[in-house]
Copies of this chain bind each other. A is one copy, B any other.
Amino acid sequence: MTDGDRRLHLNAFLMAPGHHDAAWRHPSSRPDRATDVAYFQELARTAERGRLDSIFFADGLAVWHRVGSNVSGGLEPLTLLSAIAVATERIGLIATASTTFNEPFTLARLFASLDHISGGRAGWNIVTSGNTAEAHNFNLDEHVPHAVRYERAAEFVEVAAKLWDSWADDAVLLDVAGGRYADPDRVRPIDHAGTHFKVRGPLNVQRPPQGRPLLVQAGSSEDGREFAARHAEAVFTAQQTLADGQTFYKDVKTRAERLGRDPGGVKILPGICPILGSTEEEARRLERELTDLQVLDYGLAQLSSMLNTDLADVPLDAPVPEHLLPAEDDVNGNKSRFTLVSELARRDRLTVREIIARLGGGRGHRVVTGTPEQVADQMEEWFREGAADGFNVMPPVLPTGLEDFVDHVVPVLQRRGLFRTEYTGRTLREHYGLPRPPGN
């Protein structure tokens, strides 16, 4: 593909009421449908109507603080995406799942099953689970240290890949007359014995249509970038400025190349929270409405969680006290989010209240407020200037934010030749232009 043929890739990041933390209080959201599978099927069909590459669900293994002041307690991603798979035909389906609190046999199997159910549309956003509340649900008093989590994650992905490859593509013979359903020599144990896992295999699911699900990753720490460069085929990232986006893009591509990979085989997808209006004024009004609906307690709890501290008693109209901003090395959680907050506090000297308002839109992701043309301009700039292969689209309010994006931004991108007008492939890998891993 020449550079002129290069196309954007778009993922719709779905979350019950939308990405703005006040979305559930906005009249256009549907917080009453947070556990309604039909609602998510409708969102997925909207994304498919826009010819998006994929939809995606984030995940955590605990209820966070202050369950009261935002939507919480929704559906589990792999069961939800299985139910969405059979209500859609083309769109990719990406689920987050943790390598710290799962076993590779179990997870490899769930994703293989989803890939069969969807006809080759499964993707796995690999996370190592950054929050102590998650450890408390899995027999631990303390969290697993950052470095150990990444070491385990690397071995986990290695085992999962071996399991997906354990059935050869041509293992099933269906030789009814001869009584041979499969060729036992093409369904092989993996006999993995490593530091964290001992798994004999083979997997008890036939090789998935895609060979392996698409591997996605979102860590931005040193460990996270190295992991992404080694394993990820798509990377979700939070970048606020074009310069930061370019630096991150180049860094991950360079790391991948150094590891012997084709840098084109790692798609970089920065988050974008598009607050849309038919005029800029209308968009700004929606943004103000959302800010006005923020629950301060919730914002404080979110910020406390990002910083791994308790901000309940700090003055709202003063900067975050310096002693509550730990050095990045001390953070055993979501390091990229911490770095961002730290910049807002240290560099921009924002007050606690201002930081909460700033984070409300995309929880650290870039918010672009404006008309469809303005949002498309921003996307095009990042795409052309080496900061993005596409975007992780985070509508501030659902379902309306996704409908607006599909109906008004996608056509602009299509007119500019930046985005497909029809699906050309059937699998998630085909949508992202990524090869099917060869079998064994």
Binding site for B on A (CB under 8 A): 24-25, 31-32, 34-35, 37-38, 41, 60-63, 66-76, 78-80, 82-83, 85-87, 101-103, 105-106, 109-110, 112-114, 116-117, 133, 136-141, 167, 171-174, 176, 179-184, 187, 197-206, 293, 295, 298
B187 in contact with A69 (CB, 8 Å): no
A71 in contact with B116 (CB, 8 Å): no
Most chain B beta-carbon contacts within 10 A, residue among A71, A116, A174, A298: A116
A37 in contact with B86 (CB, 8 Å): yes
Most chain B beta-carbon contacts within 10 A, residue among A66, A117, A183: A117
CB-contact partner of A60 in B83, B187, B204, B293, under 8 A: B204
Bound-state Cα–Cα, A127 to B63, Å: 28
Bound-state Cα–Cα, A74 to B117, Å: 10
B199 in contact with A117 (CB, 8 Å): no
Query: Given the complex, which residues of B lie within 8 Å of A140, measured CB to CB?
Result: 198
Distance of A403 from chain B, by nearest CB (Å): 21
Bound-state Cα–Cα, A434 to B298, Å: 40
Given A31-B176, A137-B200, A73 and B105 touching (CB < 8 A)? no
Bound-state Cα–Cα, A71 to B203, Å: 14
Which residue of chain B has its CB nearest to the CB of A113? B76
Instruction: Sort A-B residue pairs by CB-CB distance and give the 9 closest, nearest first.
Output: A76-B113, A73-B206, A136-B200, A82-B82, A79-B82, A68-B184, A179-B295, A79-B113, A105-B137
A133 in contact with B198 (CB, 8 Å): no
Query: Given the complex, which residues of B lie within 8 Å of A72, measured CB to CB?
Result: 181-182, 187, 204
Bound-state Cα–Cα, A38 to B86, Å: 8
Bound-state Cα–Cα, A85 to B37, Å: 10
Given A86-B41, A116-B75, A117-B37, A63 and B31 touching (CB < 8 A)? no
Which residue of chain B has its CB nearest to the CB of A197? B139
Distance of A110 from chain B, by nearest CB (Å): 6
Query: Given the complex, which residues of B lie within 8 Å of A24, measured CB to CB?
Result: 176, 181
Distance of A81 from chain B, by nearest CB (Å): 8
Which residue of chain B has its CB nearest to the CB of A185? B68
Bound-state Cα–Cα, A70 to B203, Å: 16
Bound-state Cα–Cα, A195 to B67, Å: 29
Query: Given the complex, which residues of B lie within 8 Å of A298, measured CB to CB?
Result: 179
Bound-state Cα–Cα, A47 to B417, Å: 49
A35 in contact with B133 (CB, 8 Å): no
B179 in contact with A25 (CB, 8 Å): yes
CB-contact partner of A76 in B110, B173, B176, B179, under 8 A: B110
Bound-state Cα–Cα, A179 to B69, Å: 6
Query: Given the complex, which residues of B lie within 8 Å of A114, measured CB to CB?
Result: 79
Bound-state Cα–Cα, A295 to B178, Å: 9
Which residue of chain B has its CB nearest to the CB of A74? B205
B32 in contact with A181 (CB, 8 Å): no
A133 in contact with B86 (CB, 8 Å): no
Query: Given the complex, which residues of B lie within 8 Å of A69, measured CB to CB?
Result: 179-181
Query: Given the complex, which residues of B lie within 8 Å of A106, measured CB to CB?
Result: 61, 101-102
Bound-state Cα–Cα, A38 to B85, Å: 11
CB-contact partner of A139 in B71, B116, B139, B198, under 8 A: B198
Query: Given the complex, which residues of B lie within 8 Å of A25, measured CB to CB?
Result: 176, 179
Subset of 13 A-B contacts with CB under 8 Å: A25-B179, A34-B206, A35-B205, A37-B116, A60-B204, A61-B204, A73-B206, A75-B113, A75-B205, A136-B200, A137-B201, A138-B199, A139-B198
Query: Given the complex, which residues of B lie within 8 Å of A85, measured CB to CB?
Result: 37, 83
Bound-state Cα–Cα, A86 to B86, Å: 8
CB-contact partner of A205 in B76, B102, B137, under 8 A: B76
Query: Given the complex, which residues of B lie within 8 Å of A32, measured CB to CB?
Result: 174
